[in-house]
C-alpha cells in the first residue's frame, strides 16, 4: 500500500512559477512510474508529465518547455516545477504512481493562475 500527499499548490500570477511536491509513504518498493495529472472544471483529467523508474520523462505538448518532472528516490518524492504559468494551467493537480497490478492517487492540490 502506498499513500501519496501533494503540496505546493496555490494562487500565482500569470508568468509566475510554482513547485509541486508529492510525498510517497508506505511500501514504495517496486514503484515503476510516477506522474502528475490535472483536471480543470468541466474538462477531462489529463496526463501532464510522467517519469519512469529509470528517469525517462514524458510531457503533454501543452507544458513542454515550461514544466519539469523529477524524482528523489532517497526521499520518496516526486516534483513538478512549473514555470511561465498561464490561466489555462488552472486545475487540480494529482500525483499518481503505479507498481505491477496497482495504481495510487493523491488527493490533489489546487493551482490557480490569475492576475
Please list the pLDDT of the chain residue by residue as tens digits (115 residues): 889 999 999 999 999 999 999 999 876 666 789 999 999 999 999 999 999 988 899 999 999 999 999 999 888 899 999 999 999 999 999 999 988 888 999 999 999 999 9
pLDDT at 94: 98
How far, in Å, CA of 67 to CA of 29, rounded?
Answer: 27
Residues 12, 18: Cα–Cα separation, whole Å:
8
Q: Which residues pair with 79 in a beta bridge?
A: 21, 70
Amino acid at each position: 500500500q502506498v499513500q501519496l500527499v501533494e503540496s505546493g499548490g496555490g494562487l500565482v500570477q500569470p508568468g509566475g512559477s510554482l513547485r509541486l511536491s508529492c510525498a510517497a509513504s508506505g511500501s514504495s518498493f517496486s514503484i515503476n512510474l510516477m506522474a502528475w495529472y490535472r483536471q480543470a472544471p468541466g474538462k477531462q483529467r489529463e496526463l501532464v508529465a510522467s517519469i519512469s523508474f529509470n528517469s525517462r520523462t514524458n510531457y503533454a505538448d501543452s507544458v513542454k518547455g515550461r514544466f519539469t518532472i523529477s524524482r528523489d528516490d532517497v526521499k520518496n518524492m516526486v516534483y513538478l516545477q512549473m514555470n511561465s504559468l498561464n490561466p489555462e494551467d488552472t486545475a487540480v493537480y494529482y500525483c499518481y504512481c503505479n507498481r505491477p497490478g496497482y495504481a495510487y492517487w493523491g488527493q490533489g492540490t489546487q493551482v490557480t493562475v490569475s492576475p
